[in-house]
Amino acid sequence: MVCENPSKENLKTPGSLGFFCCARPNVSFRSNLSYLLPGKCTHRMIVVMDQNVADELIDNVTKRVQELGLKAHVIRGTERTVIAAVGDERMVKVESFESFPGVAEVMPILAPYKMASRELKPESTQVKVGPFRAGAGVIGVIGGPCSVESEEQIVQSAKAVKAAGGTALRGGAFKPRTSPYSFQGMKEEGLKLLALARQETGLAVVTEVMSTEDVPLVAKYADVLQIGARNMQNYRLLEAVGRSGRAVLLKRGPSASIEEWLLAAEYILNEGNPDVMLCERGIRTFETHTRFTLPLATVPYLHRKTHLPVIVDPSHGTGHSYLVADMAAASVAAGADGLIVEMHPNPEKAMSDGYQSLDFKQFQEMMNRCNVIAKALGKTFG
Ligand code: PEP
Ligand code: MN
Reference 58, options 85, 88, 82; nearest CA is 82
**What pLDDT shows up at residue 40?**
39
Measured in whole angstroms, the distance separating CA 174 from the mean position of its chain's CA atoms is 20
pTM: 0.86
Query: What is the model's pLDDT at position 65?
Result: 86
Please tell me if the CB atom of residue 228 comes closer than 6 angstroms to any atom of ligand 1. Answer: yes
Q: State the chain's mean pLDDT as an integer.
A: 87
**Sequence-ordered list of residues with C-beta below 8 angstroms from that of 56, at least 6 positions apart, any chain:** none
**What is the pLDDT, as a whole number, of residue 8?**
32
pLDDT score for 87: 67
Model confidence at 155: pLDDT above 80:
yes
Tens digits of per-residue pLDDT, 46-90?
899 998 899 999 999 999 888 888 888 899 888 889 998 876 655
Tell how far CA 353 is from the center of its chain: 23
Looking at the chain, the number of H-run helices and the number of E-run strands are 11, 17
Q: With CA atoms as reference, report the closest residue to 112 among 264, 320, 239.
A: 264
| Residue 160 main-chain phi, psi, to 5 deg | -70, -35
Q: Are 217 and 208 in contact (CB under 8 A)?
A: no
* Residue 295, ligand 1, Cβ within 6 A: no
Residue nearest to atom 10 of ligand 1 (CA): 229
Ligand nearest to the CA of 206: 1
The strand pairing partners of 367, in sequence order, are none
Output the CA 315–ligand 2 centroid distance in Å: 8
Q: Measured from the CB, is residue 146 less than 6 Å from ligand 1? A: yes
Give the distance (Å) from ligand 1 centre to CA of residue 233: 15
Q: Is the pLDDT of residue 118 over 80?
A: yes
> Ligand 1: distance of its center to the CA of 293 in Å?
14
- All structural domains of the chain: 8-109 (3.30.70.1140), 127-381 (3.20.20.70)
Output the CA 148–ligand 1 centroid distance in Å: 13
What are the tens digits of pLDDT across the range 286-343?
Answer: 999 999 999 999 999 999 999 999 999 999 999 999 999 999 999 999 999 999 999 9
